[in-house]
């Protein structure tokens, strides 16, 4: 059985967060949804639990941070094309997401990505890596 990851994120307004991520093309597991949280399905092994702040706080005694002001993590998702990177990032910005301050768009020969902050300030990076270019060996140095 493959290992799954469940990323837990606190959100201020669960309904607004569900609407935001639905517009980006994600779906939600209704069996793992109630008024306190929901399970956003990213893939067969990746899930994001969007939890209301009070419910999230019940799992830890540590205080919540304001993700608009403090970095916590960058959630990076790989996609199958540059077009999909742009679709998700453009959709995020169109429905209330924000460009990540002071983060230039990263474009190299084999990699293309875009960043945004969601409604709660969590940082997301959407990444496409060209499998042909990424698997090319680096040019060997010529020995003198």
Residues 73 and 144 in one domain: yes
Residues 129 and 96 in one domain: yes
Q: Last residue of some domain: 19, 43, 64?
A: 64
For residue range 58-79, list pLDDT tens digits in order: 999 999 999 999 988 999 999 9
Q: Last residue of some domain: 34, 49, 64?
A: 64
Owning domain of residue 127:
69-144
Residues 84 and 143 in one domain: yes
User: For 143, how many CA atoms within 13 A lie in the half-sphere containing its CB?
Assistant: 0
Tokens of 46: 């990746």
pTM for the full model?
Answer: 0.83
> Where residue 141 falls among pLDDT bands split at 50, 70, 90?
very low
Q: How many domains does one find in the chain?
A: 2
């Amino acid at each position: 059985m493959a290992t799954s990851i469940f990323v837990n994120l606190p959100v201020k307004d669960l309904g607004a967060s569900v609407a935001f991520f639905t517009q980006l093309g994600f779906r939600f597991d209704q069996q793992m949804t109630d008024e306190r949280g929901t399970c956003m399905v990213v893939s067969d092994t990746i899930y994001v639990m969007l939890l209301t702040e009070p419910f999230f706080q019940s799992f830890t005694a540590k205080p919540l941070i304001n993700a608009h002001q403090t970095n916590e993590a960058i959630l990076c998702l790989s996609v199958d094309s540059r077009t999909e990177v742009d679709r998700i990032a453009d959709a995020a910005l169109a429905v209330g997401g924000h460009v990540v301050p002071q983060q230039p768009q990263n474009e190299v020969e084999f990699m293309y990505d875009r960043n945004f902050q969601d409604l709660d300030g969590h940082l997301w990076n959407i990444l496409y890596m060209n499998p042909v270019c990424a698997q090319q060996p680096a040019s060997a140095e010529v020995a003198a």
